[in-house]
Amino acid sequence: MDVKDIRKKLKKSLDKQRFEHTMGVMYTAGCLAMANEYSMEKAMLAGLLHDCAKCLPTDEKISLCEKHDIIISAVEFENPGLLHAKAGMVLAEELYEVKDPDILHSIKVHTTGEPGMKLLDKIIFVADYIEPGRKEAPRLEYLRKTAFEDLDKTVAEILYDTIHYLNSKSGAIDPMTQVTYNYYERYREE
């Protein structure tokens, strides 16, 4: 399936706001890929599909994960919105015919991250947070600048902000988010 077909299909399956966000992530991922000498096409496809399962009903996300033996954590059961990344990986492969393991993996980890992420994982993780439609996150101007200078530092800063935001709201933190921050924290200090 080519990118034009995927875009058309996504436009029908995502709400207007989510589709606009998706397009922002796609183009931001392309820019970050260029800045990091990575395949712009792969980054843009991953950005386009990163939220492909976002608007699915919760029971469908759970079903997709269970059908493919994907472990669902207690935090994900409590906050099923987090499941869109794992379900999105499955949907990208089954519905949108993506076979590239790097693209699929970047979709899977774009919400929580994971220690030792590959370059594409970091590009999608960061692009999702800094795309032009985002307005509510703190320090966006700083993060948008830093993203084009040091992806590892930007990953660490985004995780730091996310954890502090969730702690201030008494929100549940996915254990993988904390583990990922612990791994990338050293880049905040350099």
Domain boundaries, given as residue ranges, for the chain: 3-136
What whole-number distance in Å separates Cα of residue 183 and Cα of residue 128? 20
Q: Where are the alpha helices (DSSP H) in 56-174?
A: 58-67, 74-78, 84-94, 101-108, 119-130, 140-147, 151-168
What whole-number distance in Å separates Cα of residue 2 and Cα of residue 177? 33
- Give me 62's structure tokens: 């759970």
Q: If you search the block for the tokens 């502090």, which residue do you land on?
A: 164
pLDDT tens, per residue, the chain with 190 residues: 789 999 999 999 999 999 999 999 999 999 999 999 999 999 999 999 999 999 999 999 999 999 999 999 888 988 888 999 999 999 999 999 999 999 999 999 999 999 999 999 999 999 999 999 999 888 999 999 999 999 999 999 999 999 999 889 877 889 999 999 999 999 997 6
- Give me 6's structure tokens: 């995927």
Tell me the whole-structure pTM to 2 decimals: 0.96
What CATH superfamily classification does 3-136 receive? Hypothetical protein af1432 (1.10.3210.10)
Q: What is the dihedral of CA 43, 18, 57, 173, to 10 degrees?
A: 70
What whole-number distance in Å separates Cα of residue 78 and Cα of residue 95? 27
Write the CA distances from 159 to 60, 125, 183, integer angstroms. Answer: 28, 10, 10
